[in-house]
A and B are shown apart, each in its own frame.
Chain A
Amino acid sequence: MHGTSSRLIVIGGSWGGIQASMKILRALPADYPFPVVLVLHRLRNYEGNLQELYEKKLALKAVEIDDKAPLEAGHLYIAPANYHVLLEKDHTFSLDDSELENYSRPSIDVTFTSAADVFGKNTVGILLSGASKDGSSGLKHIFDKRGTAIVQHPGEAEIAIMPLAAINSTPGCRIMNIEGIQAYLLTLHEH
């Protein structure tokens, strides 16, 4: 057994998601007690380096996910371009290069669903700004597994399509602005 983390934070976003996630993640300290996984849509075969961008600005240790890497607290795991990201029961990652989902690879639905299958009620899913419906069904799956489903307030999101789609499919989700999400994440403790 690699990871011993009791919770997993998974964040998804598309257009406007980089900026929103950056603001949220800057609030988290280097010794944050949980791992955070970030799935953002980007251009296929885009070689630009998100990892460097986050590494410079965050206290968390930002890494691009390698296949079979173990989950560790205080790390930000960034989904690599052109792969779906899945979680295994032993708290390691498996990558997958199968068909696009919702025209996307990585797909937020794929990672949210897989995270909820492994972490159940200890999954915290956060869906941010975006011009896609990807993430809605994954967030619903997190909610159905008694995890915490959070959506960025559509009024604050740069593009509200993604938050609105999620609110529509998971009416019980929590709607929060960036500040609220930061504060919530800082209240979470090991249990």
Chain B
Amino acid sequence: MKPEQDDLFEQEVEALIKEIHTQYGYDFSGYARASVYRRIKRFLGQKHLHSIDDLRKHLFTDSFFFENFLQEITVNVTEMFRDPTFYKSLRENVLPILSTYPFIKVWDAGCSTGEELFSLAILLEEEGLLGRTKIYATDINQKVLRQAKEGIFSATQVAAYTSAYYAAGGKRDFVTYYTSNYGSVKFDSSLVRNVVFYPHNLATDSSFNEFHLIVCRNVLIYFNRALQDRVFNLFDESLVDLGYLALGKKETLVMSGINDRYDFVDKSNRIYRKNS
């Protein structure tokens, strides 16, 4: 694209973001632009659309198409036990402290299709804590929440998940957690017996409970600094004193307004603890 075409594309996307907010109530104004432009160009290519105008026509006449768009724009690529050292650290440094509480509340914010949720549930189960833990699993997207509830994942990933599980300090035989069926695996639904699935939009919704642990990994990378600050404040309000916050490996509180109130539990895995 020539520079003036780029400018036009960007102006059209800005107008589209406003229109989506008005029509559907989803607010993307605080999303990181480099990523939004890339996702939209990619979506146009997939759907063989040639302009933002073509995209508009579909988005505002077909709510099924919009749901599809929402799923593509909000990245839902995820895996079980991503960064095994993170899960190992959570098991060794955080769960022993959480076990001192009679009842544990965890928020998995931006749980997407559930791979992270099931990984957390397996960890809690193996540490004997799942029975007295309530996990709130939230996402902006209702479609992925339905998938998360099912716990059905592609069998092609299982070998990778199995080695990540053991690297994360897994204590059992991984196959005991799922049953295989026609190219997919279904995880034991008792793992999510104490999970509440709940649509929640980090960009616009407020705090709804108090938690001992909030896990929000690789969600905030898609937000700009201002929206990240909003979400960090939301997490701060939602954490008990001495509660834990787990971010993605390359996400940081350092530029946020709440940084002073948090200490590192594990710097390389970005696990923080609220110090007051």
Contact = CB atoms under 8 A, between A and B. Distances in A.
B236 to A, nearest CB: 18
A113 to B, nearest CB: 8
Interface stretch (B54-62, B97-105, B248-256): B248-256
Given A45-B83, A68-B225, A120-B3, A94 B34 contact: yes
In the A-B complex, the 8 residue pairs with the smallest Cβ-Cβ separation, listed nearest first, are: A86-B34, A94-B32, A98-B75, A95-B221, A67-B221, A97-B218, A94-B34, A88-B34
A97 B6 contact: no
30 contacts: A45-B82, A45-B83, A64-B250, A65-B250, A66-B250, A66-B251, A66-B254, A67-B248, A67-B250, A68-B252, A68-B255, A82-B82, A82-B83, A83-B250, A86-B35, A88-B33, A88-B224, A94-B34, A94-B222, A95-B250, A96-B35, A96-B38, A96-B221, A96-B222, A97-B75, A97-B77, A97-B218, A117-B6, A120-B3, A145-B3
Interface residues of A, number: 27
For the side of the interface on B, what is the size category? Answer: 20 to 34
A80 interface: yes
A87 interface: yes
Nearest to A96: B35
A79 to B, nearest CB: 10
A87 B37 CA distance: 11
A83 B220 CA distance: 13
Nearest to B39: A98
Given A88-B33, A95-B250, A96-B75, A67 B220 contact: yes
Contacts of B249: 80
Contacts of A82: 82-83
Interface of A: 45, 47, 64-68, 80, 82-83, 86-89, 92, 94-99, 110, 114, 117-118, 120, 145
Contacts of A88: 32-34, 224
Most buried by A among B6, B32, B82, B164: B32
A118 B6 CA distance: 10
B38 A114 contact: yes
B85 interface: yes
Contacts of A96: 35, 38, 75, 221-222
Contacts of B33: 88-89
Contacts of B222: 94, 96
B68 to A, nearest CB: 16
A65 B252 CA distance: 11
B163 to A, nearest CB: 9
A47 B249 CA distance: 11
A97 B83 CA distance: 13
A114 B34 contact: yes
